[in-house]
Amino acid sequence: MSAHELTVRFGHVLALDAVSLQTPPGQITAVVGGDGAGKTTLLEALVDLVPIEAGSVDSPARSTIGFMPAGAGSWSELSVDENVAFVGGSYGLATDVLTTRADDLLTRAGLSDVRDRLAGQLSGGMRKKLGFCLAMLHEPQLLILDEPSTGLDPVSRVELWRLISEAAARGTAVVLTTTYLDEAERAGSVLVLERGRALLSGSPQDVVSSYPGVIVQTDSPTRPQFAWRHGTGYREWWPDDPPKGSTTTALTLEDVSIVASLRQEVGS
Amino acid sequence: MRSNLKSMRAMILKEFRELRRDHRTMGMLIGMPVLLLVVFGYAANFTVDNVPTATVGPQAEQVAQQVEVIAQAPFDVVEVDPGGNAATAEDLLQRDSVDVAIDTGQQPPVAYIDGSSLFTAQTSIAAFNRLGDQVTVEILFNPELKTSWVMVPAIIGLILTFIGTIITSIGMVKEKQTGTIEQLAVMPIKPSTVILGKILPYFLLATLDMVLVTVLGMVLFDVPFNGSVGVFAIGAGLFLFVVLGLGVFVSTISQNVGQAIQTAFFFLLPQILLSGFIFPLEAIPWGVRWISYFLPLTYFTMVSQGVMLRGAPLDALWFPLIMLAIMAVVIFTGAVLRFRRNLAPGDGRRSKPKVSA
């Protein structure tokens, strides 16, 4: 699937400004950005949930897309098995195919012991994993996940990412949004959004290595507009050579996305 | 103490700020009491002072003139048929053309009164009683003037309104509240399939409830079922479409279950009070009565009371049935189209999907 220069407007608010995105098969594409950057709007535009003002989406047929919204992602008053039965039935899966896939997915997701439990009574992590299983049930070619790991504890995040990576390894094109930059570093490519604009895109390595400047770790920043708290000290971005004698470290994806956003704010 | 007061002040301010933004609750707080007082102050009237009356038989014309000038009598003669007889009189009542029909062919004349219009009947009986032996009174369709006989057919409609509007809107809005409506929208199911699949269970449940309440009403209160089940079914079916449509409509203008119930209540209350089964339509002044003619329950009550009590045939109920049919088409279609917009908001602004990626 590809999206070309998508523009979405809600009233006077420009939610997406000519954003493009490619999702190659077998690869995870992470859309990152702060709150209100336009991540969810981008995913919704991909699946036709918001009207597009300009640009185009070239998407596969609906029957080959799996979608997990940022919300519950499952029907809370249905049990795990009933959720599976409903979604499988909606996609027209044959009973035996559905049974095999559900057994496999729920086992890998660690949900096989709670199949009779209502979705609304699952823990946050289990609920997200159920949402993922439902989105994967019909073996989609394209998997769209809106903040799958938000609000999960570190262990649940690891488990969910294992499922996502397995899906990609089987050839599924995955596009997900996240606010965690360490997750984005594991993706095949990233798209950094800020206020509806694409700031950076490419593989995490390319994005980081092609970004200019270095990071100085310091306790007293000299360029406050390009410095931010990190641990007990500050990280400070220098586009060229930093002052002599300062401790420099390489840029990370997190640094790059913060600097890109700060630069847009400052307007440089 | 001071800090306590300060916290209290902050709490009160916060509450008012939240309320101010909650337009529906504000409407219930301010608009509803005013509306209720004005509307029901005028509508709440059990005294009927205008009873549509017919005179039939050889002396129809003389009697027509006489009844209209009886002191304090509410009779308004709208039909005079010198060629008619007792059967004609009964037919006029059955079709609800009039509420009182006087047959002058008998000695003394017999006044047939429609017992399915409870308050009208009571007013008329009181007026005839003052005349003593000059006229014999015969009450048709509800000879003991039982309130339950008149209420049960209307309450069937009220129960259907309740299920149709409140329960349906809750079921529909839940998908929106939990965000699962987006999943439904992305699944390869046609919006019409989603909507039908969501409405049909409520249609079936409401139908079951209707049968249950009708049968229970007949068993517990001896309410008769004099007319045709088919005519009743047509009326009930049309009415169900209207109230289910209202439920779907309410869900499209609500974001959560609380809002849906609040909004459904706005549609429910006027139907309870203005559809003619508590206060007789004839007793409501026109300034308010026009509202009654926009309420589906008004027409369902006409059909259910007509069929069950008077045994009114299809052609006597064409007006309420046509009104229900029009409402069903307009409200149901409009609501479903609105709901469809929720399911496919971005419709039609993108390149054609390819069959394979």
Please report the residues numbered 107 through 136 in chain A whose beta carbons come closer than 8 angstroms to any beta carbon of chain B: 134
Single-letter amino acid code for the residue at A15: A
* pLDDT reported for residue B71: 61
Q: Do B178 and A75 touch (CB under 8 A)?
A: yes
pLDDT in tens, A138-176: 999 999 999 998 888 888 888 889 999 999 999 999 999
Q: Are residues B300 and B205 in the same domain?
A: yes
Query: Which residues pair with residue B55 across a beta bridge?
Result: B80, B102
Identify whether B15 is part of a domain: no
**How far is the alpha carbon of B273 from chain A, nearest alpha carbon, in Å?**
36
Most B CBs within 10 Å, among A7, A21, A22, A59, to test the B interface: A59
Q: Are residues B135 and B253 in the same domain?
A: no
A47 inside 8 A of chain B by CB? yes
Identify whether B135 is part of a domain: yes
Q: Do A61 and B183 touch (CB under 8 A)?
A: no
Q: CA A164, B190, B161: angle at the middle one, nearest 5?
A: 115
> In which domain, by residue range, is B67 found?
51-140
Q: Are residues B111 and B168 in the same domain?
A: no
If 0-12 CB within 10 Å is exposed, 13-18 middle and 19+ buried, where does residue B120 land?
A: buried
* pLDDT reported for residue A268: 53
Residue B108 preceded by cis peptide, ω within 30: yes
If 0-12 CB within 10 Å is exposed, 13-18 middle and 19+ buried, where does residue A109 land?
A: buried
B352 inside 8 A of chain A by CB? no
If 0-12 CB within 10 Å is exposed, 13-18 middle and 19+ buried, where does residue B228 land?
A: middle
Most A CBs within 10 Å, among B174, B177, B180, to test the A interface: B180
Per-residue pLDDT, averaged over B312-334, amounts to: 93
Cβ of B130: how many Cβ atoms within 10 Å? 11
* pLDDT reported for residue B352: 41
Q: Is the pLDDT of residue A26 over 90?
A: yes
Most B CBs within 10 Å, among A90, A91, A143, A175, to test the B interface: A90
Better-scored residue on pLDDT, B229 or B45: B229
**How far is the alpha carbon of B43 from chain A, nearest alpha carbon, in Å?**
43
| Domain end residue (candidates: B140, B156, B181) | B140
Identify whether B195 is part of a domain: yes
Cβ of A163: how many Cβ atoms within 10 Å? 18
| Domain end residue (candidates: B140, B168, B201) | B140
Q: Which of B288, B258, B253, B250 is nearest to B270 (CA)?
A: B288
* pLDDT reported for residue B304: 94
* pLDDT reported for residue B299: 96
**How far is the alpha carbon of A159 from chain B, nearest alpha carbon, in Å?**
23
Q: Are residues B207 and B324 in the same domain?
A: yes
Helix ranges, chain B (H) = 2-21, 23-26, 32-43, 60-69, 86-94, 118-129, 147-161, 168-177, 180-186, 191-221, 229-252, 257-274, 286-292, 296-305, 318-327, 333-343
* pLDDT reported for residue B357: 35
**How far is the alpha carbon of B186 from chain A, nearest alpha carbon, in Å?**
6
Identify whether B16 is part of a domain: no
Euclidean distance between the first and final Cα of chain B, in Å? 68
Domains of chain A with bracketed CATH: 2-205 (3.40.50.300), 210-266 (no CATH)
Q: How confident is the model at residue B74 (pLDDT cuts 50, 70, 90)?
A: confident
* pLDDT reported for residue B347: 55
Q: Are residues B203 and B270 in the same domain?
A: yes
* pLDDT reported for residue B215: 93
Q: Which two tokens stand for residue B143?
A: 């000879």
Phi-psi sector, A227: left (phi>0), alpha (psi -120 to 50), beta: beta
Q: Is the pLDDT of residue A4 over 80?
A: yes
Per-residue pLDDT, averaged over B189-202, amounts to: 88
* pLDDT reported for residue B345: 67
Cβ of B281: how many Cβ atoms within 10 Å? 19
Identify whether B180 is part of a domain: yes
Percent of chain B with pLDDT over 90: 34
**How far is the alpha carbon of B198 from chain A, nearest alpha carbon, in Å?**
13
Q: Do A52 and B346 touch (CB under 8 A)?
A: yes
Comparing CB atoms, the residue among A61, A76, A87 nearest residue B353 is A61
Identify whether B99 is part of a domain: yes
Q: Are residues B311 and B162 in the same domain?
A: yes
Q: Are residues B96 and B160 in the same domain?
A: no
Q: Is the pLDDT of residue A113 over 70?
A: yes
Better-scored residue on pLDDT, B356 or B96: B96
Q: Are residues B57 and B96 in the same domain?
A: yes
pLDDT in tens, A232-262: 889 999 988 888 888 888 888 889 888 888 8
Identify whether B128 is part of a domain: yes
Percent of chain B with pLDDT over 70: 96
For all residues of chain A together, what is the average pLDDT? 90
Residues of chain A with C-beta less than 8 angstroms from the C-beta of B351: 56-58
Residues of chain B with C-beta less than 8 angstroms from the C-beta of A73: 179-180, 183
Q: Are residues B234 and B339 in the same domain?
A: yes
Half-sphere exposure of A169 (CA within 13 A, CB side): 6
Comparing CB atoms, the residue among B189, B354, B355 nearest residue A58 is B354
Q: Do B187 and A90 touch (CB under 8 A)?
A: yes
Identify whether B26 is part of a domain: no
Which residue in this structure is represented by tokens 């149709």?
B164
* pLDDT reported for residue A151: 81
Q: Are residues B212 and B261 in the same domain?
A: yes
Q: Are residues B117 and B245 in the same domain?
A: no
Per-residue pLDDT, averaged over B289-293, amounts to: 90
Q: Is the pLDDT of residue A194 over 60?
A: yes
Per-residue pLDDT, averaged over A220-232, amounts to: 88
* pLDDT reported for residue B346: 62
Please report the residues numbered 156 through 215 in chain B whose beta carbons come closer than 8 angstroms to any beta carbon of chain A: 178-180, 182-183, 185-189
* pLDDT reported for residue B351: 46
| Domain end residue (candidates: B87, B113, B140) | B140
- Specify the number of domains making up chain B: 2
* pLDDT reported for residue A181: 87
Per-residue pLDDT, averaged over B69-84, amounts to: 81
B353 inside 8 A of chain A by CB? yes
Q: What sign results for the dihedral spanned by CA atoms B174, B179, B185, B189?
A: negative
Among chain B residues, CA nearest to A1: B357
Per-residue pLDDT, averaged over A25-45, amounts to: 91
Q: Are residues B178 and B310 in the same domain?
A: yes
Q: Is the pLDDT of residue B135 over 90?
A: no
Single-letter amino acid code for the residue at B276: G
Comparing CB atoms, the residue among A59, A74, A76 nearest residue B353 is A59
Most B CBs within 10 Å, among A16, A29, A64, to test the B interface: A64
φ and ψ at B5, to 5 degrees?
-60, -40
If 0-12 CB within 10 Å is exposed, 13-18 middle and 19+ buried, where does residue B5 land?
A: exposed
Comparing CB atoms, the residue among B179, B189, B347 nearest residue A90 is B189
Most B CBs within 10 Å, among A62, A136, A142, to test the B interface: A62
* pLDDT reported for residue B201: 93
